[in-house]
C-alpha cells in the first residue's frame, strides 16, 4: 500500500526537525537576522518555514546557545543572531554526534539494502 503524501510529509518533517538545530547553529557562525538565515539555509537546500525557525531561534537563545541584538539596517529594525561560546561547544559535540549517526546509517544501509 503506497504511503499517503501527508504521512510522508510528517515523517520527513520529524526527520528534519532534529537536524535544524545543527543547521541553525552552523549557519550562525556568521551573524544573521531571521530572514537572511532562512534564505541562506534555503540556498543550501534546507527549507525551513518561519513558524519553525523563529521559535527555534528563541529557544536556542534562552538556552544560551545564541546571542541576539536589535539593529537598524537598510532603514529597518532587525534582530541579529549569532552563536555564543556555549553554542560553539554544543555545536562541536553535535557535529561529532552527527558524524557518528552518518557512519552508523551508512553501515546500516550497506548491510541491509
Residues near another protein, by CB under 8 A: 33-35, 49-52, 54-55, 58, 70, 76-79
Q: Which residues contact 22 (CB under 8 A, 6 or more apart)?
A: 91, 94, 95, 98
Q: How far apart are CA 91 and CA 89, in angstroms?
A: 5
Coil, helix or strand at residue 49? coil
Q: Minimum Å distance from CB 7 to another protein?
A: 20
Which residue, 16 or 58, is less far from another protein as judged by CB? 58
CB of 73 to another protein, least distance (A): 10
- Give 77 or 109: the residue with its C-beta nearer to another protein: 77
* Contact between residue 32 and residue 57 where contact means Cβ atoms under 8 Å apart: no
Residue closer to another protein by CB (options 16, 78) is: 78
Shortest distance, CB of residue 34 to another protein, whole angstroms? Answer: 5
- In terms of DSSP H, where are the helices of the chain? 5-27, 34-43, 50-62, 85-112
Smallest distance, another protein to C-beta of residue 20, A: 13
Amino acid at each position: 500500500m503506497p504511503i499517503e503524501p501527508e504521512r510522508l510529509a510528517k515523517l520527513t518533517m520529524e526527520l528534519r526537525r532534529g537536524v535544524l538545530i545543527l543547521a541553525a547553529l552552523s549557519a550562525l557562525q556568521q551573524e544573521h537576522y531571521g530572514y537572511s538565515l532562512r534564505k541562506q539555509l534555503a540556498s543550501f537546500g534546507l527549507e525551513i518555514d518561519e513558524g519553525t525557525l523563529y521559535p527555534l531561534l528563541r529557544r536556542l537563545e534562552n538556552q544560551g546557545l545564541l546571542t541576539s541584538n536589535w539593529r537598524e539596517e537598510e532603514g529597518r529594525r532587525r534582530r541579529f543572531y549569532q552563536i555564543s561560546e556555549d553554542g560553539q561547544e554544543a555545536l562541536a559535540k553535535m557535529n561529532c554526534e552527527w558524524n557518528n549517526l552518518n557512519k552508523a546509517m551508512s553501515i546500516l544501509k550497506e548491510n541491509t539494502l
